[in-house]
Amino acid sequence: MNTYLFLFLIATVGSLVSTPLIRRLCQRLKLLDIPRDDRRLHTKAIPRLGGIAIFFSCAIALLTLPFIDNLLTQNLRLYVADMTVAFIPATLVLLLGIYDDLRGANAAVKFVTLGLIGSLFFALGGRVDALSIPYFGSVHLPLVLSYLITVLWLVGITNAFNLIDGLDGLASGAALFSSLVILAVSIAQDKPLMIVVALILCGALAGFLRYNFNPASIFLGDSGALFIGFTLASLSVLSVQKATTAVAIVVPIFAFGFPMVDTAITMGRRLLSRRPIFQGDNEHIHHMLLARGWSQRQVAIVLYSVCASFGLIAVIFNATSSRLVGFFLFVMSVVVIIAVGHLHYHEVDELRAGVRRTVTDRRVRMANNIRVRRAVRSLSRATDLHDIVEALRHMLDFGEFEFANAQFGQVDAPETNETLFHTLVDRHPHDRVEFRNGFVYWNWANNGVTEKTVLNARSSWCFRLPLVKDGNEWGWLNLYRSFQSDALLVDTNYLSDLFRRELTDAVERIILNHEATSVLPAHVMINVQVEEIAG
């Protein structure tokens, strides 16, 4: 126990001492994170190579082990190979992060390099040998599948910590809670190597957090985020290696619960909105909480609580029966979905609306679209304006619009339009038509709405359908809908294309037919007069 405490203190003190030194060195060499875009939350240049301080702290603590001779260190000598598996690749990841901080590396370069380092980890003996699925039992993985899962896990967790490193103290605090989970599980399973490494990492992170918590005077940088992410991922693989219980597989997932949730949401959002998956944005969970007016400290503390909750569940998993794993996974999934829904992501809101459209509104939308199709068929058989008015009235009975008005007539032919109007009024006096400005005017209202209310209140939006064909204008149809109404449950493509086209054809056909029949008697009369004069 004294050795454990000594290692923790060495790592903590090493971090408390080396972090200010690294910070001063970065300031001198101008190795600073300068806020150049709106994704950065800081307003002044901050040193960014904090990962080096964490690495040195861990290295110093580990290098003291050869100078200690007791049962613990004698036992640890049996695990030298495992130490090599974990720390050689982790050191290479640190160098990749330093290069990214100093020179910059695009996402493709980082992913390929991390994949190669993960392959090295696999070649050295670190791998996921088996998976145990709740209620289905353990599955021993073939070599190729074992390789793919191991590398994907390492690269995924490493980048998960890199993605959440956008708020003072968030990535380092989340890593501290993950280290505590690995420490607790390792103690319960009596794995001395895992206990030592997790304890040293806890000390290094705790000391660094003194300078990284808001207001931060130094950042982890990619060097720190990638290093701690890869180290924790590799420790989780080594801790469950050759384990076949569902609990042993699920514990690492919850140990990295918050980074994994944030990464999954980020990838899902970008896929749904068809944006590049690796393009940065300011819509991570901590950004959404900041947008609500919370301070950086408040957001960090709340997300620390989330990490602690995930960690507590992981520890409970380790001590409980594997039969409850599936149930707890389901409950946690529901909780995460509900919590994410309250963050008001555009993609999540649209996905929810899509589900509602598919499940709840589908039948109503289908019925309304069928009404539009029936109106189109009625318009194709229309022989006068009354038929058009009736088709419009029957279609509008679906209640999606509160008011409609239309204007029919031929431009520069007011006499023809007027005779058309009088013909309609004489035959069907209840069609609510008027003759305005040389055109036939018709309106329809729903639920006692009046034309004056709709047109003057400015509480509605209008869907206008111009009746134009081959450059000739035959009128228009306006459909009005309140801003306070629920979602429109009719396909506007049907209205703007199929319905508008058939309505235009019907109006054109009726007006031209009326013009022809009204002009014919005049020709006949002229011919008769000519014959009489000739006689």
In angstroms, rounded to a whole number, what is the distance separating the alpha carbons of residues 313 and 290?
A: 27
Nearest to 476 by CA among 380, 411, 386: 411
Beta bridge partners of 434: 441
Contacts of 462 (CB under 8 A, 6+ apart): 478, 479, 480, 481
When pLDDT is averaged across residues 373-388 and rounded to a whole number, the result is 93
When pLDDT is averaged across residues 66-70 and rounded to a whole number, the result is 86
When pLDDT is averaged across residues 509-520 and rounded to a whole number, the result is 78
pLDDT tens-digit series, residues 386-431: 999 999 999 998 888 989 999 999 988 888 899 989 988 888 888 8
Contact 140, 207 (CB under 8 A): no
| CB burial readout 56-76, b (16+ within 10 A) else e | bbbebbbebbeeeeeebbeeb
Question: DSSP character for 535?
Answer: -
Residue 520 confidence (pLDDT) above 60: no
In angstroms, rounded to a whole number, what is the distance separating the alpha carbons of residues 277 and 255?
A: 24
Nearest to 238 by CA among 194, 277, 202, 280: 194
Which of 38-47, 94-103, 279-288, 324-333 has the weakest average pLDDT?
Answer: 324-333
Per-residue pLDDT band at 276 (split at 50, 70, 90) = confident
Residue 321 confidence (pLDDT) above 70: no
pLDDT tens-digit series, residues 193-233: 889 999 999 999 999 999 999 889 999 989 999 999 999 99
Mean pLDDT: which of 147-151, 339-343, 423-427, 451-455 is highest?
147-151
Across all residues in the chain, what is the average pLDDT? 85
Q: Which residue has the tokens 């030592």?
A: 196
Structure tokens at 62: 């580990």
Please, where in the chain does CATH 3.30.450 lie? 362-524
Strands of the sheet containing 403-408, edge to edge, are 433-436, 439-445, 403-408, 472-482, 460-469
Structure tokens at 286: 């901590």
Strands (DSSP E) contained in 69-168 are 130-133, 137-140
Contact 475, 409 (CB under 8 A): yes
Region of 528 please: left (phi>0), alpha (psi -120 to 50) or beta. Answer: alpha
CATH class in words for 362-524: alpha beta
Contact 202, 335 (CB under 8 A): no
Which of 69-78, 159-168, 205-214, 524-533 has the weakest average pLDDT?
Answer: 524-533
pTM to 2 decimal places: 0.72
Beta bridge partners of 207: none
Contacts of 267 (CB under 8 A, 6+ apart): 277
